[in-house]
Chain A
Amino acid sequence: MNRHMFFMLAGAMSVVLPAIASAQTELTVYTAVEAVDLDRYKATFEKSHPDIKINWVRDSTGVMTAKLLAEKDNPQADVVWGLAATSLLLLKTEGMLEAYQPKGVEALDKKFVDKDNPPSWVGMDAYVAALCYNTVEGEKLGLKAPKSWDDLTKPEYKGHVVMPNPASSGTGFLDVSGWMQMWGEEKAWSFMDKLHENISAYTHSGSKPCKMAGAGEAVIGVSFEFPGAKAKSAGAPIDIIFPTEGSGWEAEATAIIAGTANLEAAKTLVDWSVTKEANEMYNAGYAVVAYPGVAKPVEHLPSDIAAKMIDNDFEWAANNRATILKEWQKRYDAKSEPKS
């Protein structure tokens, strides 16, 4: 509590402290949601709950996860709203999450809710693995757009594919874990062996491959649908391709941090985060949301993305992450030096 007081004092430059202290509960909410969406989320929630004020702490998924883990013994957050479910599972296995059954959670698609009862996290929306294909550069090189994951291993794409490094990017890991869950470990490894031959770079960020494809730095970026749609709106000559075999996906999810001093307010926020209204709000950027029947098509994206999503076992992915990454690094990191 001492630190909270300190932070409030430190951050009080723009705010008149006494007026707020009595009237509102302030929630420190950690998030990895896109910066542009935050104001909208906050405004919509606070309109219906004027007694609660959200203080966002935002960063990329990796940094946010590292921050939460680093603060394990002295948590600063009350709620996490909009962080990868895999990251939340990691926190759960450290005993950092408060299990809570939000009101109305039954309405959500089961695959977006933690399997335990009461659940420790509930999902908001999904981001789905997809390929960004630069049509201009592809044409210059006389290539055809790939249709499936398997197509990516064709020799003509050699040196033209970029994918995120699963060891440092959540998106990279969802690709790998998706392949393993679809095909079994053995086939997935032999696929990755062949894919590795075509990869020109493994990036640290999950959206970067798509932006690299958009800028023509690569022809094919293994990424997810959201940055693809964004790059296309910005004028990038790309097609967003969902491979025929199906796609791995990750949920953005919400959870309460165990030991929060504002448990009631935290519960109110999580209750609201599963409502239909909230899900309609998520739909502005994400084509797949947790509340069935809410999602409307998003510009540049097909309407049937939900059908491409594989049956993702988050627990399996989290519990095998360390082993998979160790093997991945052994196979591809050591020889991923530039060969020329």
Chain B
Amino acid sequence: MNITLEAPYLPLTGKRLRQETSRDDRIKFGLMAVIGLYLIVALGAPLFVMLSKSLSTYRFDLAAFEFQVSDETRTKWGRVVTGDALNRTLAAVAEADLASSTDGRLAATKFFPDFSFRSPVHYRIRGTTDDAAFLVGSTLEKGTEWREYDSGTFRRIMLRPARTLGLDNFKTYFSTPALARSIYNSVLMAAISTVVTISIAFALAYGLTRSCMPLKGLFRGILAIPILVPSLLPGIALVYLFGNQGIFKDWLLGYSIYGPIGIVIGSVFFTLPHAFLIILTALSIADARHYEAAASLKASKWRTFTTVTLPGARFGIVSAAFVVFTLVITDFGLPKVIGGQYGMLAVDIYKQVIGQQNFEMGAVVSVILLVPAILAFAVDRRMQKRQVALLSARAVPYVPKPNARMDGICFAFACLVSFFILGMIAMCQIAAVVKFWPYDLTLTAKNFAFDLMDGGGWSAYANSIRLALLTALFGSVIVFAGAYMVEKADAFRFGRNVFHFLAMMPMAVPGMVLGLAYIFFFNNPANPLNAIYGTMTILVVSTVTHFYTVAHLTALTALKQMDPEFESVAASLKQPFHRLFFRVTLPVCLPAILNIAIYLFVNAMTTVSAVVFLYASDTKLASVAVLNMDDAGDIAPAAAMGMMIFYTNVAAKLIHALLARGLLARTQAWR
């Protein structure tokens, strides 16, 4: 689809024009390089640093310590021996146990089997390298100088591990059953949720495109709601609905909502709109002539369905399946709230980093989480390439005919799903305004007094709005400019392909992984960009990067609709590209740009995963506050904050609709 100016369009008049275009090209190339560099700094480099972090291991280097023991009179000292030599004769510590973590400690007394803290014997210890470190109780000692301790103190000597490179972290990961099991759990949950979500989404989309059921517009609106709330919110709603004090607890027949059941129900809730929209688009492109042919061949309804409808939507379904799978396996908020003891990869990263300060293991889990996400992404890309245009110019749009029974079924099903979505939101709304569920059901506004709780208070809410606005503003500019370079620049095919590849990558990188990679990359004093760590800037950069791909694709689609003739005409009129850009391209693509902006705004309001590692105390966010308040057990205020995010996103959507209508009336009159 890359369009290059072909020779016949170029007027053969002479040098001046050539210079003009080549100057344009240089500017375009420069811009592309800048945005490409942005993606490398904001994505490539942090991921690389994280990968190397996962290979950074801690191990007790016994050869780095030397010991010496005195006799009881403390006048004669024995031979100098290394810890390594002692361990070889004693086999006190098995080879496998030498692998450790940042927090590892190894008691020095392990190498002295006849040690007694009452003995008058003294001990000497030193490192053979400057980095060899040990603790005396809790005081850190380093270096090659001999230090002497009585046996009472020697009891408190703990060797510290040294940093090396290797695959030990991965070995530890796979030999820890609780951790390795998370891979299975995550894949299983993602697979089940995908099947359920796709079935529901397909049935809904089918109803909306192939039946004459009433209220189609309303259902579309309701089905978009889950996008407007953080994925934590369905978790909170499920606790209230099916938790131990839940209204419908009995429906679970004694099973607990905390765990797989909750994860699947919640995942279906928050992934449904994504799957629904993709499948709806796929089903909308139907050629009525196929159905007429099927009818005239007297094919049964089922046969028509399996030979016409399904194949037509095939790619949409596959695409939706991968989107849902990736969303579920990389989501962190929902399993955190409702997952109970059911280990999931994304939550493991959080537990390792925040719970145990084990950054290396967090990086290992991140690398592991990247694998299924990238696989799903790669398969989906391959499938997309094989998609061929279904809609030829002669296609006749399909118009469903009324069929009372069929319409009734579709309507009932859509009502059921809408009831499920609205029920979840309503439950949160009720929880947010009730005093003390379930013992005191009087109405109150006290759950909105966020300043009295953990999480960051109302300033977190203000920060979230700031983040969302900044992300929408800068994100739209960067994304659209980047897409423009990919689509409309003439030469540098290679550069454009690299850029396009970079732009597609964020889709495959889970937010948690991105966030953790940012810590490693930006919180390094040697990094000149270190200054943005802990500021609003890093939150904006991470959010723009996290949601880059979908925005990029939207911009590309809009730009592809523009006839390349515009460029050739502009060139032949000796107009510089920026004039064309601002006078024609931009106004034409305005609807797409507004869509990108609202997409980024809504996601910046609800995202938790990338920013949970990156916020600082003065840049706390509403979505993180929901997480932290739930974590501290303040579920009602968490629901209240979640609802604040919901109201804000609904308001933003309305403003977007109004704005779009006003602006479009002025700029899109030609359509």
Q: Which residues of A approach B to under 8 Å, CB–CB?
A: 2-3, 6-7, 10-11, 34-36, 56-60, 62-63, 65-66, 69-71, 73-74, 76, 89-90, 92-95, 114-116, 120, 136, 165, 167-169, 200-205, 207-212, 214-218, 227, 234-237, 315, 318-323, 325, 329-330, 333-334, 336-338, 340
What is the size, in residues, of chain B's interface with A at 8 Å between Cβ atoms? Answer: 70
- B217 cross-chain contacts in A, Cβ below 8 A: none
Instruction: Flag whether B618 is at the interface (Cβ < 8 A).
Output: yes
Bound Cα distance from A50 to B245, whole angstroms = 51
User: Nearest-CB distance from B404 to chain A (Å)?
Assistant: 44
A216 touches B244 (CB 8 A): yes
User: Nearest-CB distance from A9 to chain B (Å)?
Assistant: 10
The main secondary structure of chain B at its interface with chain A is loop
Bound Cα distance from A58 to B176, whole angstroms = 33
Partner of B632, one of A115, A167, A211, A236: A211
User: Nearest-CB distance from A256 to chain B (Å)?
Assistant: 15
- B244 cross-chain contacts in A, Cβ below 8 A: 216-218
- B359 cross-chain contacts in A, Cβ below 8 A: 69-70
- Known contacts A66-B353, A211-B634; A201 and B452 CB within 8 A of each other: no
User: Nearest-CB distance from B267 to chain A (Å)?
Assistant: 17
Partner of A215, one of B101, B245, B356, B616: B245
A73 touches B525 (CB 8 A): yes
Bound Cα distance from A96 to B207, whole angstroms = 63
Bound Cα distance from A216 to B439, whole angstroms = 9
B453 touches A35 (CB 8 A): yes
Minimum-distance CB pairs A-B, first 7? A168-B355, A211-B633, A333-B178, A208-B633, A74-B525, A57-B617, A334-B177
B354 touches A168 (CB 8 A): yes
- Known contacts A216-B244, A329-B176; A201 and B355 CB within 8 A of each other: no
Partner of A207, one of B243, B525, B633: B633
- Known contacts A74-B523, A329-B178; A217 and B617 CB within 8 A of each other: no
- Known contacts A93-B138, A211-B633; A322 and B354 CB within 8 A of each other: no
Bound Cα distance from A320 to B451, whole angstroms = 38
- B243 cross-chain contacts in A, Cβ below 8 A: 217
User: Nearest-CB distance from A236 to chain B (Å)?
Assistant: 7
Name the residue among A69, A136, A337 with the largest chain B CB count within 10 angstroms.
A337
A63-B354, A340-B254 given; 13 more Cβ-contact pairs under 8 Å: A36-B452, A57-B617, A57-B618, A69-B102, A92-B140, A95-B140, A168-B356, A204-B631, A315-B138, A322-B103, A323-B105, A338-B256, A338-B259
B178 touches A334 (CB 8 A): yes
Interface string of B222-266 (1 = CB under 8 A from A): 000000000000000001000111000000001110111000000
- Known contacts A76-B534, A92-B139; A338 and B355 CB within 8 A of each other: no
Instruction: Flag whether B341 is at the interface (Cβ < 8 A).
Output: yes
B341 touches A338 (CB 8 A): yes
User: Nearest-CB distance from B636 to chain A (Å)?
Assistant: 9
A319 touches B439 (CB 8 A): no
User: Nearest-CB distance from B433 to chain A (Å)?
Assistant: 15
Instruction: Flag whether B384 is at the interface (Cβ < 8 A).
Output: no
Instruction: Flag whether B437 is at the interface (Cβ < 8 A).
Output: yes
B439 touches A10 (CB 8 A): no
Name the residue among B176, B341, B357 with the largest chain A CB count within 10 angstroms.
B341
- A115 cross-chain contacts in B, Cβ below 8 A: 137
- A58 cross-chain contacts in B, Cβ below 8 A: 617
B256 touches A340 (CB 8 A): yes
Instruction: Flag whether B351 is at the interface (Cβ < 8 A).
Output: yes
Partner of A89, one of B138, B254, B354, B632: B138
Partner of A204, one of B158, B177, B256, B351: B351
Bound Cα distance from A201 to B105, whole angstroms = 29
Contacting residues of chain B (498-543) with chain A, CB-CB under 8 angstroms: 519, 523-525, 530-531, 534-535
Bound Cα distance from A340 to B119, whole angstroms = 55
Name the residue among B176, B244, B343 with the largest chain A CB count within 10 angstroms.
B244
Q: List 12 A-B contacts (CB under 8 A).
A: A65-B357, A66-B357, A70-B519, A116-B139, A212-B633, A216-B439, A235-B439, A236-B439, A315-B156, A319-B137, A334-B177, A337-B342
User: Nearest-CB distance from A193 to chain B (Å)?
Assistant: 16
- B616 cross-chain contacts in A, Cβ below 8 A: 57
B137 touches A167 (CB 8 A): no
